[in-house]
Structure 1
Amino acid sequence: MTTASHPAEHHHMMGLTLRNTAMGVGIVFLLVGILGFIPGITTNYGAMTFAGHESGAMLLGVFQVSILHNIVHLLFGVAGLAMARNARMARLFLLGGGAVYIVLWIYGLVINQETGANFVPFNTADNWLHLILGVAMIGLGAWLGRDAMDESPTARRNM
């Protein structure tokens, strides 16, 4: 029989794909957080502040970053790796993380970028990236999670 004829095996494969996707997203966030601390990859590195719109550092010369912004990326990465251990948590990471990024996108649109409200900080490129990340993470969590099941040790043994 083919893989598709075994529902439990299909759920296992979808769960594995979901977990690997969350892990991949987590790794990307970790890399972005690390790259934000590397002079040259982050232009105007000497102008980086802990937080706030005054930070002049630009990841890849495009995305405004600060120490806080880089730490947030690192924490998101660690969360992605930790939550990729089972399908249910991987889905929660993708859906919840995507929702957080949609909220950040909205926040970035409504604040004045030249005030203290822009404490992370964000620029227009960050706002567009937050929208894309939010939609992509929610889409992946919903699409890959629709058929996935939690891969408990018991479920894996029974396959």
Structure 2
Amino acid sequence: MNASHTTATRSPLQLAALVMGVVFLLVGVLGFIPGITTDYGAMRFAGHESGAHLLGVFQVSILHNIVHLLFGIAGVALARSWAGARNFLIVGGAIYALLWLYGLLIDHGSPANFVPLNTADNWLHLILAVVMIALGVLLGRRAAATRR
């Protein structure tokens, strides 16, 4: 298949999953770039001791960046099919909702904060959860209705 044919047959749901996947890939890569990630030298593999912050705001670690990269790879791969895209958005959104709850419940200065997470991460995770689930449900309904 050529690229124009693939693009023309991609549903809005698949496009949304693809865009989210690419954004996660971009965030994962940016987390490894000094300057874009402040206090880069204070980055740790994992744990609340990691002092690096993506864009000077979001606390990151090597593990955190790897998770973003893996999430991005999953989004791009699953966007190839309608069901995969819907599952990525809804299940991925549910994972981010759980991560948001986890971030609210743990002490950010404790070993339980292994990802690590800060308040800015918690807000972003809530927004990601709502947006991803909404996209998966709303665009999934439209595509299902169109297929009938």
TM-score, structure 2 length as denominator? 0.90
Paired residue type of 1:83: L
1:129 aligns with 2:115: no
1:17 aligns with 2:12: yes
Query: Alignment length, in residue pairs?
Result: 138
1:141 aligns with 2:136: yes
Give the match for residue 83 of structure 1.
78
Taking the aligned partners of 1:28 and 1:61, their CA distance within structure 2 comes to 18
Give the match for residue 37 of structure 1.
32
Taking the aligned partners of 1:114 and 1:142, their CA distance within structure 2 comes to 36
Give the match for residue 95 of structure 2.
100
Paired residue type of 1:29: F
Cα deviation for residue 30 of structure 1 reads: 0.1
Unaligned 5+ segments in structure 2 are 1-7
Q: Kindly report structure 1 stretches of 4+ aligned residues shifted beyond 4 Å.
A: none
TM-score, structure 1 length as denominator? 0.84
Mapping for residues 110-129 of structure 1, pairs under 5 Å: 110-129=105-124
Give the match for residue 48 of structure 2.
53
Taking the aligned partners of 1:50 and 1:32, their CA distance within structure 2 comes to 17
Unaligned 5+ segments in structure 1 are 1-11, 150-154
Taking the aligned partners of 2:88 and 2:136, their CA distance within structure 1 comes to 8
> Whose Rg is larger?
1
Q: RMSD across aligned C-alpha pairs, in angstroms?
A: 1.5
